[in-house]
Chain A
Amino acid sequence: MTSTYWESTQRKFWTFTKQQLALERKKIEEAERNLVNLYPLPDKRHLSIYFYHQLSKMARPLGIRQQALATAQVYVRRFYTKVEIRRTNPALVLATALYLACKMEECPQHIRMVLAEARHCWDTSFNDISKIGECEFTLISEMNSQLIIHHPYRSLAELQTHFQLTQEENALAWSIINDHYLTDLPLLLSPHEIAITAIFLAVVLKPTQGGLQVNAAGVANALQALGNARATNGQGTQNRVQKLVDWMAESNIDIECVVECTQELISLYEIWENYTDKACKEPIAKFVKARGLDK
């Protein structure tokens, strides 16, 4: 880790405890009690999956890289910790977050291209780049211009040689990092804590056997393996897992973070198994139409 993250606005202003995050969200809900009651929405984790699907749909035809997509996901998550979703047009917020993230990650897209893709993948009537331009002001202002995101991908790249990850393991760790953006983890843990969890899971899950499909049961087993490694402490039964555990102890990484992170992922994979876009699309469309937020 470089010193960069420790003094970053990400750590200082955008990393919360679970309690803090719950409190922030409760505050917004309380302030918008009427709206919240009038327009029920599915579980937040379902919405995260839906947003991810929508962002990917916009990003794919434009050839936008994963890291810019990840940055956009973090922007959306930050934004909705400060602004009640029912006061916004999510289609516009997502398109704008993607547009802004591409500039920040040095792969800029023309605003017209982003608008075209947004129109293509949402049944939406906003048809003017000035809408995205204006929403950009709102996003930046809500985030206090704190736009630099430290991603676990860099930590993964730094650590992969240290732990001698195979190509498959590295790919699996990478895809686990991709998945964590669908949870609150980017607002809860540091990038290197996420990276080490992803590495740990990749090593335990043995990607050559399971392919790159991660599921809840598999991750739950991995958690078991972590518990064993801690208990046997230096028995050398599971060499690489042990090495990871030792390394975490040496580098003062709280192993509870890894456990917490793993559990969050388990619950994501559980929910994902029964998820459908429809359950999110309709309630969102309802409040957007009813409130004229797409005008």
Chain B
Amino acid sequence: MFTGYNTKKRVNERYKIVGFISSGTYGRVYKAMGKNGRTGEFAIKKFKPDKEGELQYSGISQSAIREMALCTELAHPNVVHTVEIILEEKCIFIVFEYAEHDLLQIIHHHNQPPRQAIPARTIKSILHQLLLGLVYLHRNWVMHRDLKPANIMVTSKGKVKIGDLGLARLFYKPLHSLFTGDKVVVTIWYRAPELLLGSRHYTPAVDLWAVGCIFAELLSLRPIFKGEEAKMDNKKQVPFQRNQMQKIVEIMGMPSKDRWPLLTSMPEYGQLSSLAAGNARFHRPQGLENWYQMCLKNNQYPPAGSSPENPGSEGFSLLQQLLEYDPQKRLTAEQALQHPYFSVHGKPSENCFEDSKINYPIRRVSQEDNDIRTSSLPGTKRSGLPDDSLIGRPAKRLKEV
């Protein structure tokens, strides 16, 4: 009878939940083992219903629909593989391949005493694989829109996988301007300047800015532009992210009309000049090159020269072209892959841990909540780890409007 939805697959018949990994605005992620003939480890994302404790079907959120459709459509070695999607009694589960690490966790490990830099080869391989995945997404008209270390997975075999397509969107011929729908995208530290300046027609270039920020963070082990997020006010107006913009300008200097012709047509352009008033550092910015040299020195990379143990001048050149203010001048993912940085010491390794002697800890999972079907309030942080395992990370994203 068609009187109701009949679940064909049941999550508990197919997987054994071994622990809880994380939670966010979208729901919760669990680690699981295959069961009844299925082998291997998996990460299962359970979407929370629109309202907590929803007992009735109320329609699936648009972002969940997007993620389900994109995960089903996409297949690339550097994009997290979706094993299956299970719709079971008002709940949605997306089953992903399991990745033991992610960039946030790797950066965190290197920050632990004795603090040590991430080997230059590892960084190069990570970046190369990340860009391969991004080229694939962009060729398929998918913008990720939320690239950050926590969303970049790394398997124990050193394969980098772009994860969390929860904010991703198709960008060809959008029916509405991409600005409508979700008002704010991309975790603030990785947010491109055109977004900070209120651009309504942004492009895949926002993902390349984020790649630049991630590159810088892998080198320095700290977010390069660590701004404080201005919260939405009562009128639900999206505020100008003054502090974040300041952090960028302190290193990069003020964007100029010469280098970025469309700058003056940005909705928040007026805010930019007020930013400069009375702040000496704006007129004497650190400069990206100084930042880069300081960073290599502080993290004790071996002296520059032609050593593959040093990211070198090619690394700086790539970083500079990724952190380009003008989105039209910023490298595309394809151009970035062609950059000499990736060819100067032979091909980057396909395993980012190759020749690395560092042992990364395995992903922590919590045992407090192992019942994926009945966990009382999906998405609430009743137990387990916070959203990101480093304290002081900003809120991931604002809820879709």
- B298 CB within 8 Å of chain A: no
Known: A99-B59, A106-B175, A108-B62. A134 touches B1 (CB 8 A): no
- B73 CB within 8 Å of chain A: yes
Interface bin, chain B: 35 or more
- A224 CB within 8 Å of chain B: no
Quick check: A145 and B2 within 8 Å, CB to CB? no
Quick check: B59 and A146 within 8 Å, CB to CB? no
- The smallest C-beta distance from B171 to any residue of chain A, in angstroms, reads 10
Q: CA separation between A2 and B141, bound complex, in Å?
A: 10
Quick check: A106 and B176 within 8 Å, CB to CB? yes
Q: Mark A138-153, 1 if CB is under 8 A from B, else 0.
A: 1011001111100000
- The smallest C-beta distance from B399 to any residue of chain A, in angstroms, reads 15
Stretch at the interface among A125-133, A198-206, A253-261: A125-133
Top 9 closest pairs, chain A to chain B, by CB: A133-B57, A147-B69, A111-B59, A137-B5, A130-B56, A145-B72, A134-B57, A130-B57, A103-B62
Known: A104-B65, A146-B73, A154-B173. A132 touches B141 (CB 8 A): no
Known: A4-B141, A106-B169, A145-B68. A134 touches B73 (CB 8 A): no
Known: A2-B141, A147-B69, A148-B69. A105 touches B2 (CB 8 A): no
Quick check: B5 and A134 within 8 Å, CB to CB? yes
Quick check: A132 and B73 within 8 Å, CB to CB? no
Q: Which residues of B contact A105 (CB under 8 A)?
A: 175
Quick check: A140 and B175 within 8 Å, CB to CB? no
- A222 CB within 8 Å of chain B: no
Quick check: A68 and B175 within 8 Å, CB to CB? yes
Within 8 A of B (CB), among A280-295: 293, 295
Quick check: B87 and A133 within 8 Å, CB to CB? no
- Our count of residue pairs bridging A and B at CB distance below 8 angstroms stands at 101
Q: CA separation between A174 and B174, bound complex, in Å?
A: 18
Task: Please give 20 more A-B residue pairs, beta carbons under 8 A apart, in addition to A9-B72, A106-B181.
Answer: A3-B139, A4-B139, A87-B2, A100-B65, A103-B62, A106-B170, A111-B59, A129-B57, A131-B57, A132-B57, A133-B56, A134-B5, A136-B59, A136-B60, A137-B90, A138-B5, A145-B71, A148-B69, A148-B73, A154-B173
Q: CA separation between A22 and B233, bound complex, in Å?
A: 58
Quick check: B175 and A141 within 8 Å, CB to CB? no
Q: Mark B65-97, 1 if CB is under 8 A from A, else 0.
A: 110111111010000000001010010000000
- A65 CB within 8 Å of chain B: yes
Q: Which residues of A contact B141 (CB under 8 A)?
A: 2, 4
Interface bin, chain A: 35 or more
- B286 CB within 8 Å of chain A: no
Quick check: B169 and A133 within 8 Å, CB to CB? no
For the residues of A in contact with B, the DSSP-based class is helix
Quick check: B174 and A146 within 8 Å, CB to CB? no
Q: Mark A16-36, 1 if CB is under 8 A from B, else 0.
A: 000000000000000000000
Q: Which residue of B lies closest to A107 (CB)?
A: B175
Contact residue among A88, A106, A134, A141 (Cβ-Cβ distance under 8 Å from B174) = A106
Quick check: B68 and A140 within 8 Å, CB to CB? yes
Contact residue among A2, A129, A138 (Cβ-Cβ distance under 8 Å from B139) = A2
Q: Which residues of A contact B70 (CB under 8 A)?
A: 148
Q: Which residues of A contact B4 (CB under 8 A)?
A: 134
Could you list 24 A-B pairs, sorted by A, with CB under 8 Å? Answer: A3-B139, A7-B75, A83-B2, A99-B59, A103-B60, A106-B175, A107-B175, A107-B176, A108-B181, A133-B59, A133-B60, A134-B4, A136-B57, A136-B59, A137-B57, A140-B60, A145-B69, A145-B71, A145-B72, A147-B65, A147-B69, A154-B172, A154-B173, A157-B173
Q: Which residue of B lies closest to A128 (CB)?
A: B56
Quick check: A65 and B3 within 8 Å, CB to CB? no
Q: Which residues of B contact A8 (CB under 8 A)?
A: 73
- The smallest C-beta distance from B328 to any residue of chain A, in angstroms, reads 21
Quick check: A146 and B87 within 8 Å, CB to CB? no
Q: Which residue of B lies closest to A68 (CB)?
A: B175
Quick check: B58 and A130 within 8 Å, CB to CB? yes
- A242 CB within 8 Å of chain B: no
Known: A133-B56, A144-B72. A103 touches B87 (CB 8 A): no
Q: Which residues of A contact B172 (CB under 8 A)?
A: 154
Quick check: B58 and A133 within 8 Å, CB to CB? yes
Q: Which residues of B contact A129 (CB under 8 A)?
A: 57-59
Q: Which residue of A lies closest to B174 (CB)?
A: A106
Q: Mark A192-233, 1 if CB is under 8 A from B, else 0.
A: 000000000000000000000000000000000000000000
Quick check: B175 and A65 within 8 Å, CB to CB? yes
- The smallest C-beta distance from A120 to any residue of chain B, in angstroms, reads 19
- B357 CB within 8 Å of chain A: no
Q: CA separation between A295 and B1, bound complex, in Å?
A: 12
- A67 CB within 8 Å of chain B: yes
- The smallest C-beta distance from B102 to any residue of chain A, in angstroms, reads 25
Q: Which residue of B lies closest to A96 (CB)?
A: B59
Q: Which residue of B lies closest to A92 (CB)?
A: B2
- A73 CB within 8 Å of chain B: no
